Structure 1
Amino acid sequence: MASETSALSKPIQLSQTSVRPSPATLGKDILRLKSCELMQQMREVEIDHEGRIYRLRVTQLNKLILTA
């Protein structure tokens, strides 16, 4: 688990992809990330959002689930 923790604490390089905004998001910037960049070959990552920890994980059916 120590290697997983250290891997998660390293900054990651994310590429930004241009996204054509839908009518609902016109005028807003959107950042699109590839899940493989975010997950870094891990099945689960923790996301700290304003002090609250969320878990993003890949299911057996290769879907993403975000839980608090």
Structure 2
Amino acid sequence: MEQPGVKPPTEHRRAPCDRPDDAPSGAARRTVVCISSEQLFAGASEVQIEHRGAVYRLQRTSLGKLILTK
């Protein structure tokens, strides 16, 4: 089911973190995954993230801020 305002994951949009020239010359490049908060939350106000056996909660506040708690 499609959420209003949420792009399908197959469609790539340039996000602020897509800056190929922000690394200093000669610096080692690392892989960065950039996901918009709209895609991550998919209409919900909370996302649970499992990391190394612990569950973290990422919440979106009514003011649009993000809070990460363990």
Q: Same fold (TM over 0.5)?
A: yes
Higher helix share: 1
How far apart, CA to CA, are the structure 1 residues paired with 2:45 and 2:54? 20
13-22 or 31-40, which deviates more: 13-22
Q: What code does the residue aligned with 1:48 have? A: E
Q: 1:51 aligns with which of 49, 53, 63?
A: 53
* TM-score normalised over the length of structure 1: 0.65
Larger Rg: 2
For these two proteins, the number of residue pairs brought into alignment is 57
- The runs of at least 4 aligned residues of structure 1 exceeding 2 Å deviation read 13-18, 21-26
Q: Structure 1 residue 36: deviation in Å? A: 0.8
Match of 1:20 in 2: 19
Structure 2: runs of 5 or more not aligned: 1-8
How far apart, CA to CA, are the structure 2 residues paired with 1:16 and 1:29? 16
Identical pairs, percent: 34
1:1-68 pair list within 5 angstroms: 13=9, 19-21=18-20, 22-23=22-23, 26-68=28-70
* TM-score normalised over the length of structure 2: 0.64
CA RMSD of aligned residues (A): 2.6
